[in-house]
């Protein structure tokens, strides 16, 4: 199955935000069930002959964007999909929304395990020849080829619009998308850590790309420590403001902190900016429900 049979290069849209003109690369529009940077990161799998596999095995959070993308990838390729999670809180089973709902609808085989740490650490492995094992969040060398195409699309956009200097901004989880993008892009990449701090993110970069001169610039919050997945009024506010002012629904887990930091650091980039909408909006239903339950 060829990637570009399913996906077209994503469009770029111009918006006004934080008193600046900002280009938005709409990777969220790549595919309804399979958008954003996960489509980019799994590009390599589209190009691969998967006929020797019977199933995909992965692990991670029960609301993860990667989980939903893998579920839809597995369905598209008629592969079984086993997904390992920590034991789930009881209330969740009566309140299934967002990525979790979608992935189950696509036939994901959810496996709650108390051995979760051993899967994370690699102590438990899934090395059967018919199993395609995907690391959490898709942080893997196979992610590079698809992100390279994203870099090409961005350079084409810049050339067509006679832009000679461009700042490319995107959120990071594992950092795989950002570091491979910087490796293949002639413009500067700026990113914001969401899962850990700047130090964790830099280590992640080094695991995938040892050369420090090929790493993106990291912007982190100096005023406040944010915990991944927690609710913050300023996150919900900027997400709502983005929608009100641009009409674009951004993602509610990674995008808010990234936009806050972008607005804070705008003066550092006196040249055009391109923000990559990395998709994941299918997960917003469950995130927004949490904000509403918390009384925001």
Ligand X SMILES: *Cc1c(COP(=O)(O)O)cnc(C)c1O
Task: Choose the stretch contacting ligand X; rule: CB under 6 A; options: 85-93, 148-156, 239-247, 277-285.
Answer: 277-285
Q: Which distant-in-sequence residues (6+ apart) come within 8 Å of 217 by Cβ?
A: 188, 189, 190, 191
CB of 233 to ligand X, least distance (A): 21
CB of 141 to ligand X, least distance (A): 13
Candidate list 235, 251, 282, 287; residue touching ligand X; CB under 6 A: 251
Residue of 285, 295, 293 lying closest to 63 (CA atoms): 285
- The answer to the question of residue 226 lying near ligand X (CB under 6 A) is no
Find the binding residues for ligand X in span 134-193 (CB under 6 A): 137, 139, 171-178
Q: Looking up tokens 């917003």, which residue turns up?
A: 284
Task: Choose the stretch contacting ligand X; rule: CB under 6 A; options: 10-18, 32-40, 114-122, 234-242.
Answer: 32-40
Q: How many residues bind ligand X (CB under 6 A)?
A: 20
Which CB atom, from 74 or from 176, has the smaller least distance to ligand X? 176
Pair 290, 231: CB distance under 8 Å: yes
Which CB atom, from 37 or from 286, has the smaller least distance to ligand X? 37
Question: Angle between the 98-105 and 65-76 helix axes, to the nearest 10 degrees?
Answer: 20
Task: Choose the stretch contacting ligand X; rule: CB under 6 A; options: 12-20, 33-41, 112-120, 225-233.
Answer: 33-41
SS3 assignment, position 69: helix
CA distance 171 to 255: 6
Pair 82, 57: CB distance under 8 Å: yes
Pair 80, 54: CB distance under 8 Å: yes
Which CB atom, from 37 or from 145, has the smaller least distance to ligand X? 37
Q: Which residues bind ligand X (CB under 6 A)?
A: 36-38, 65-66, 137, 139, 171-178, 251, 254, 278-280
């Amino acid at each position: 199955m060829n990637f570009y049979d399913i996906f077209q290069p994503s469009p770029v849209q111009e918006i006004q935000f934080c008193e600046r003109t900002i280009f938005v690369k709409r990777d969220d529009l790549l595919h309804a069930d399979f958008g954003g940077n996960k489509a980019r990161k799994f590009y390599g799998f589209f190009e691969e002959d998967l006929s020797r596999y019977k199933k995909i095995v992965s692990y991670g959070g029960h609301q993860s964007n990667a989980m939903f993308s893998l579920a839809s990838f597995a369905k598209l390729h008629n592969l079984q999909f086993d997904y390992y999670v920590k034991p789930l809180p009881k209330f969740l089973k009566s309140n299934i929304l967002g990525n979790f709902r979608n992935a189950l609808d696509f036939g994901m085989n959810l496996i709650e395990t108390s051995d979760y740490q051993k899967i994370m650490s690699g102590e438990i492995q899934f090395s059967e020849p018919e199993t395609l094992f995907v690391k959490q969040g898709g942080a893997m060398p196979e992610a590079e080829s698809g992100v390279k195409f994203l870099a090409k699309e961005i350079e084409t956009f810049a050339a067509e619009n006679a832009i000679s200097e461009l700042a490319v901004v995107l959120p990071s989880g594992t950092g795989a998308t950002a570091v491979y993008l910087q490796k293949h892009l002639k413009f500067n990449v700026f990113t914001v850590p969401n899962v850990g701090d700047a130090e964790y993110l830099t280590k992640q970069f080094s695991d995938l790309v040892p050369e420090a001169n090929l790493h993106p610039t990291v912007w982190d919050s100096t005023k406040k420590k944010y915990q991944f997945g927690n609710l913050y009024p300023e996150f919900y506010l900027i997400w709502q403001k983005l929608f009100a002012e641009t009409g674009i629904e951004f993602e509610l887990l990674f995008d808010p902190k990234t936009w806050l930091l972008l607005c804070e650091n705008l003066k550092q980039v006196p040249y055009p900016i391109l923000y990559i909408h990395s998709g994941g909006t299918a997960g917003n239903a469950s995130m927004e429900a949490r904000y509403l339950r918390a009384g925001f």
